[in-house]
Homo-oligomer: A and B are copies of this chain.
């Protein structure tokens, strides 16, 4: 993971400071607070701040004066009930703030989730570091034939080698030219005194989309779960899915009851359509149903059959 020693030191100093608070506090999350969790080759997510816990959801649902929680069992029952019936507002009462380092093509997908607060490192104002994403061989997949936006089997041999070579060389070369246009070296000194240097907001356009950017990203628990549901899904691109998976790990530390309800009702659930529901009723009665007699298209039938092991 690309976190320089200076920055590791800054993180470490901040972790060393402790304060007293009356606020809801989660020891398991405090444990990893500020610590980067490695994702991809140079990326990370780290929790920078949080508000609330499982009990805060219960408290908000009850508009309580005190802690609002009762026995763990009752709290769990309520949280599961709220999740099952899409009562989303109590989950909005918890908030979390991440610092994320991610390739720009991942950032462009991520930002589509609008109900969040974002502060991104500005390439108008500052110079981007020379850090770019190169997939590992196990993630170098070919274009899917069946699904226009998916991947298929892995590239091998010379084809794989050539792809990795292109990605590395073009990233290197474009960065070299970025510096040349800026006329500024890594230490911030002019390379050629006779030149002005191109404006940063212009020079950046020569970088490729696998360059890393960074942002602070803050959202509430309800919208976090919405993000995780879509981005931890099999259909999500691998390079964003690994961020979602790291964040599910954070969720389990932060709000364990909610994380459990999330897995039960959102992550590993099944959505049956109206027609799908009728089919399942027939199947349960012992009736034989085929695609032809199901009322579903081939594609939908295949999806249903796979889900229910028909």
Contact = CB atoms under 8 A, between A and B. Distances in A.
B63 A273 contact: no
A129 B97 CA distance: 37
Contacts of A135: 202
B25 A19 contact: yes
B90 A119 contact: yes
A259 interface: no
Contacts of A207: 208-209
Contact residue range for chain A?
Answer: 35 or more
A142 B198 contact: yes
B23 A19 contact: yes
Number of copies: 4
Nearest to A126: B148
A66 to B, nearest CB: 3
Interface in A96-134: 97, 99, 103-105, 107-108, 111-112, 114-115, 117-122, 124-126, 133
Given A205-B208, A269-B273, A307-B277, A51 B93 contact: no
A284 interface: yes
Given A237-B124, A308-B284, A199 B143 contact: yes
Instruction: Identify the 7 closest CB pairs spanning chains A and B, nearest first.
Output: A10-B66, A142-B196, A92-B117, A19-B25, A268-B274, A205-B210, A7-B65
